[in-house]
Amino acid sequence: MNECVNNNILYSPGGSSKLWKPSVAEEFMPDYQVTFESLTHAINMYRKYAEHVGFDVRLNTTSRFQHEKSIKINIGTNEFQIREFQELHNHLLYSTEERIHSKKARKLNYGDKEFIIHAATSNVGATKAHKLRAALKGGYECVGPKESDYKKFRKKLGNIIGNMDAHLVVNKMNERKKYFPNYSFEYKCVDSVLNAMFWADETDKIFYKEFGDVVSFDATFRTNKYGMVFIPFTTIDNHKRSVIVGAGLLSNEKIEN
């Protein structure tokens, strides 16, 4: 039985299982008679075919022959030829409308990566960054990568800059002092490792001036990934509410710190 499904021919030999045979122009078909001058040219040929037909490809091995799921390419000394090609698929192929969900369409381009990085430096998460990107480009259909793709890159970005976190925090705090004269920030390093830091803004200082007769502080558990103790300094205002008059991070709870 042959049917047309999303411009592809549905082929079911004997009716026992369904196989899909792409309906594709001859010019895009892999050719056994063609000799490629490089492996890259051979791979690009097949990926162009896959994109035209409507399915994703994945490079499996690079030994004696190249394997991309349904094609194998012999690797000679100075030439490359198709060794085996499987045209039938055991799944539906992308329609023209569905190709925005393909792996290639969802790949982050330079603009996407730059946008995520700028959003991260402004303390904007991946989910909100994706929404903003879609709004700026005219809708989600205008953004190839999905929200999950933004999250994966943001996580990877976090892993990359992880070793520079302390340096970034110190720079950001010192930068804030330039624009807010009443902002205080102090830190201490031991053997080039951030050991302690303290900060208080103008509002904290106003609260301290008005309600600073009794100040308490309580070291919370090391719940952050750096294992540092967070210490808020609090007092009670005239409405009997706790207000912050400063805060700090310590690597340990020794008295001198």
Q: Which helix (H) or strand (E) holds 165?
A: helix 165-179
Res 101: pLDDT: 62
Domain boundaries, the chain: 2-97, 106-162, 180-250
- Residue among 95, 100, 98, 73 at smallest CA distance from 85: 73
Backbone angles phi, psi at 184, to 5 degrees: -115, 140
Res 114: pLDDT: 84
- Residue among 185, 216, 218, 217 at smallest CA distance from 201: 185
pTM: 0.41
β-sheet with 61-62: strand ranges across:
61-62, 65-67, 71-75, 80-85
DSSP state string for 166-224:
HHHHHHHHHHHHHH-TT-EEEEEEETTEEEEEEEE-HHHHHHHHHHTTS-EE-PPP--S
Local confidence pLDDT in tens for the 257 residues of the chain: 334 344 555 555 566 677 777 777 788 888 878 888 888 888 888 888 887 777 777 776 555 555 555 677 766 667 788 888 888 777 777 766 666 666 676 788 888 888 888 888 777 888 999 999 889 888 877 888 888 888 888 887 765 555 567 777 888 888 888 888 789 999 888 777 788 899 999 999 999 999 989 998 877 666 566 678 888 999 999 999 999 999 998 887 777 77
Residues 6+ apart with CB under 8 A from 116: 108, 126, 129, 150, 153, 154, 157
Task: Report the sign of the C-alpha dihedral through residues 125, 126, 131, 134, in that order.
Answer: positive
Strands 19-21 and 80-85 come out as: unpaired
